Structure 1
Amino acid sequence: MHKVWLGPSASHYEGALSRYPEIKLVDSSIRYFPDGESCIKLEEDVRNEDVIVLQNTAPPQDLNLRHLYQMVDVLRHNRARTITCIVPYLAYSRQDRRTHSGEPFSAEIVIRTLAMLGADTLATVELHNPKMDISTTMKLVNLSTDNLFVKWINHLTLERPVLVAPDKGSHKRIQKIAQIVDIPCVCLEKYKKADGETWYEENGELDLHSRHAIIIDDLCSSGSTLIPLCKYLTDIGIVSVNYGVTHFFANSFQLKQKIGADLKIYCTDTVPTDDSNISIEQLLFSFITKEWRIIS
């Protein structure tokens, strides 16, 4: 039996996880005070138990981080044997280095705080930079959504599809997925001016005219990269864009209006919105019941 403590921002996974007899959801409660503070309370004994905390830190990030810290502190105080945190979207993970001497290394602050409070393992989905230079005794696990998007692609019914890697950082991932689903791929080069203007170029090895593009991305916060990408693809003859993204924060209606092309958005529920249409339920279940034991 795997004990899982669902935090306030992960309550949308309760229905899915409660269906599995291998998972026991931990009893807890939360109080909110007039001054805006809150307090999470554990309602059962976890002494010498291995406990998995499932708490998201999508917006509002600071509130959800505070609840995560409280949960880890409570488990350590109540002598849980091990504490594993599953955080589908890890807040501040994009601040993965100091770009200027006067700026904080915010991702490191979050990770080191969890380790200090007593967490043994932190698992997150599609970490922005898995190679961050952080010194910690806590195990860091990056859960990939590749299999979820392979399944999604296999259910698409497109004539002459092509997988598009929008920048160098995504080339290997897209090439790997393209081999699995047996779809041709093209790797673009992204360029950006100092003022933020972005444009793309491709090598011309594949004729993209009248094809349907499939893009897989880890995060979309505003669409500042997606908008010029879709404009470039439509300018060279792409018929439609099917955009699969793990962490989606943008306003889909406004994006489609600005792009003005045939754009379909498919995103996971790591950031729960009305647009979420790909569940990470199986990814969570697999980690909780299989991978977690191996890593621990």
Structure 2
Amino acid sequence: MRIFYLTSPAFVLSCILGLSALTAHAGDRLLATGGVSQIEGAGGGGLTPWALIAGYGTDDQIGGSAFYTHARTQDAFELNTGGVAVGFYNRIELSVSQTKFELGNTIPHESIRLNTLGIKLRLFGDAIYEQDSWVPQVAVGALIKHNEDFDFVPQLIGAKDATGVDYYLAASKLYLDALFGRNIILGTTLIATKANQFGLLGFGGDLRDDYQIKPSYSAAVMLTDNLLLGLEYRYKPDNLSAFNENDAKDVFVTWFPHKRLSITAAAVDLGDVADKTNQTAWYLSGQFSY
């Protein structure tokens, strides 16, 4: 059963129009402090959630974002993700997304869909305004995922479940005028997960079917007033004997032609994906924020 469809440009456009109607009193945080949209829908980097709450809403505002991401590897795997996130009073973030993963020449003309519902709660700290404190902003979150095509490929290669939950603890900090007068953002996220390839190949496997805590690291610097350069590294579990799974890493550049609009381009190293080794990819992502 298909639960929802998010990966069309028309859906994202309708979300942008809907979000635009709410922007009259939102959007007072600094540029880029909601992060970009992570591939599972949460506010963060491209690969990993950050402690920052999506959008530009302050403690008495509601903010949010809508995004669409396209990625393609050299062996014709394609990933399309769309979704929205809403941040309430810089405290709680709710997100929803869907990823469609085209299987390329591994299984021509076939794809896998992954639905993700996310929730994030800022526990303490303020990554932006508490510049006189070393304490980062800290948040906890959960990404509830359901693989619609579990019995197609994931189950056949040994995955145990179609549905799984990633739990995470994230710490992020913005440092103003920190590097040659430029702002930098640093973050660490610990993710408790059983997901295979983020859940695209199901959850758990014949090698392991228990939660593992995997760290992720992020760093980004504002090269100019509207250009962000960053990198990420995300450790991943290896649960399936059928296919090896490697860590993921990327280098990204985000351009902000307007505070509410960002365009991100990235080079991604995914390692082995299914039966293909050494998969590198590029991705392009657009985001509207308020």
Bucket of the pairwise TM-score, normalised by the shorter protein: under 0.3
| TM-score (norm: length of structure 1) | 0.25
| TM-score (norm: length of structure 2) | 0.26
Between Structure 1 and Structure 2, whose CA radius of gyration is higher? 1
Structure with the larger strand share: 2
Specify which structure has the bigger relative contact order, considering alpha-carbon pairs within 8 angstroms and separated by 6 or more residues: 2
Structure with the larger helix share: 1
